[in-house]
Amino acid sequence: MAVQIEITRELVTRIREAINENNEEQALDLIKELHAADIAELYDELNIEESRYLYLLLDGELASDVIAELDEDDQEKFLKALSGEVIAQKFIDHMDSDDAADILGDLSEEKKQEVLLHIDDVELAGDIVDLLAYDEDSAGGLMAKEMIIVNENWTILTCLKELGRQADDVDEVYYMYVVDDGNILKGIVSLKQMLLSHNSAIVKSVLEDDIISVRTDTPSEEVAQIMEKYDLVAVPVVDSTGRLAGRITIDDIVDVIIEEAEKDYQMASGLTEDVESGDRVLRITRARLPWLIIGLAGGIFGALVLGRFESDLRIYPEMAFFIPLIAAMGGNVGIQSSAIIVQGLANNTIRNERTLQKLGKEFLVGLLNGVLLASLIFVYNWFASDSFALTITVSIALVTVVLFAALFGTLIPLVLNRFKIDPALATGPFITTLNDIIGLFLYMIIGRVLYTLFAV
């Protein structure tokens, strides 16, 4: 039985020594109690040849579990070092169709065809080909073909026999899916219902027909929302005519949720692609540079705004002390507002609210926060500054900037979502840069007006 074991430097050294000495028995003994995920973690510590040697010692089922646990980049590098025949017989033949399709989908067309030709299970090969035709970010790309299927006209006894026949090919049995003679999904029968029903009962008389299903072209994010909303551990997938095509289980959806969260977090942080700390310098640089250039452009525009009001700053230099405060508050408020909207769009909690309703609510929140913050800075300037004009200017400008940033941070992700652009784009450098520029402009305009009034 696999147990959780920490991958220590000592363990890695011992495994590497066993590999270098070509001691297969010792190498297997060192990893025999490791979970597949822990063995996959060894990949980061071993070079490609050492990993190849170690993985080829594993039995088919464990080897397939290990390869499925690897990150996509590690999978790609590792599979490049293996022949199509080894990939097919060592990994694919022991995998569920959805996991196998995920792995083959990242291979070159030539390598993909080579692997498919060496798969012994013709039915599995056909299922993989079918799955590869779907968009990887759709229900069809997530689903597996392995499931227990029964006909609505069968008896319970026939279904139990079929369950015994099909169960070897299905890792987790949650329901038996009921179809008619045309393979149209009619409902489900739980294992509990099977056990409570008489053996001679007909399936259509005991099935549950009020079921939730998704279509093959349903986006993966929507599938995750449906399964979360209805607390499903598995959901059937049907084609455009209602025919049963496969099923999606909760473990596949957890992967989607994690992947989407990581993508949104990186996008909000100003990264244009999925990168990790272990990636090459050039790839990390490529992912960071675009938004840094946008930030640089934003800084230039900010400098132009200040240059436009250079004469005002020369006359009222004390205004310069609060430029960082105005810019920072605008950026922070904008990020807070956009983050709440993006989260609401992601979990489908605000789709039924009107845009004006959201803007109105955010206006009130921004006004309240702005007044409270402006009051604090007013008190500070009252005692710390000799200029009443500066005290009033900073306070009014802060309320204005906070209000604008709150409304802007709310509106931008809603607009992006309306045009089918990922709203997470609005939670990072994009919203911060725009709020900095506009916040500085508002601050300088308000300062010019108020200082002119007090001068009069």
**Mean pLDDT, rounded, for 163-189:** 86
Dist. CA 188–CA 194, nearest whole Å: 11
Task: Find the angle CA(293)-CA(296)-CA(298) to the nearest 5 degrees.
Answer: 115
Q: Are 253 and 223 in contact (CB under 8 A)?
A: yes
The CATH number, out of the four listed (1.50.10.20, 3.30.70.360, 3.50.50.60, 1.10.357.20), of the domain defined by the range 281-455: 1.10.357.20
Task: Find the angle CA(185)-CA(190)-CA(194) to the nearest 5 degrees.
Answer: 110
In the chain, where does the domain assigned CATH 3.10.580.10 lie? 148-249
Q: Which pLDDT does position 341 carry in this prediction?
A: 85
67 vs 302, residue with greater confidence: 302
**Mean pLDDT, rounded, for 70-84:** 78
Q: Which pLDDT does position 427 carry in this prediction?
A: 67
In the chain, where does the domain assigned CATH 1.25.60.10 lie? 9-138
**Mean pLDDT, rounded, for 255-280:** 75
**pLDDT, mean over the chain:** 86
| Most confidently predicted of 25-39, 60-74, 86-100, 226-240 | 226-240
371-414: per-residue pLDDT in tens? 999 999 999 999 998 889 999 999 999 999 999 999 988 888 88
Q: Which pLDDT does position 122 carry in this prediction?
A: 86
Dist. CA 293–CA 342, nearest whole Å: 24
**Mean pLDDT, rounded, for 268-275:** 72
Q: Which pLDDT does position 140 carry in this prediction?
A: 95
423 vs 446, residue with greater confidence: 446
334-368: per-residue pLDDT in tens? 888 888 888 787 777 776 567 788 888 889 999 99
> What is the number of other CB atoms lying within 10 angstroms of the CB of residue 376?
12
Pull the structure tokens for residue 159: 């279904």
In the chain, where does the domain assigned CATH 1.10.357.20 lie? 281-455
**Mean pLDDT, rounded, for 119-123:** 87
Q: Which pLDDT does position 175 carry in this prediction?
A: 84
Of the listed ranges 4-8, 75-79, 147-151, 206-210, the least confidently predicted one is 4-8
Q: Which pLDDT does position 340 carry in this prediction?
A: 84
Of the listed ranges 29-33, 151-155, 216-220, the least confidently predicted one is 29-33
Q: Which pLDDT does position 393 carry in this prediction?
A: 93
Q: Which pLDDT does position 372 carry in this prediction?
A: 96
Check whether domain 9-138 has CATH 1.25.60.10, yes or no:
yes
Of the listed ranges 73-87, 145-159, 241-255, 285-299, the least confidently predicted one is 73-87
Does residue 179 have a pLDDT over 70? yes
Q: Are 157 and 200 in contact (CB under 8 A)?
A: yes
Q: Which pLDDT does position 351 carry in this prediction?
A: 60
- Arch. (CATH architecture) of 148-249: Roll (3.10)
Q: Which pLDDT does position 53 carry in this prediction?
A: 87
Q: Which pLDDT does position 455 carry in this prediction?
A: 65
**Mean pLDDT, rounded, for 303-326:** 92
Q: Which pLDDT does position 309 carry in this prediction?
A: 92
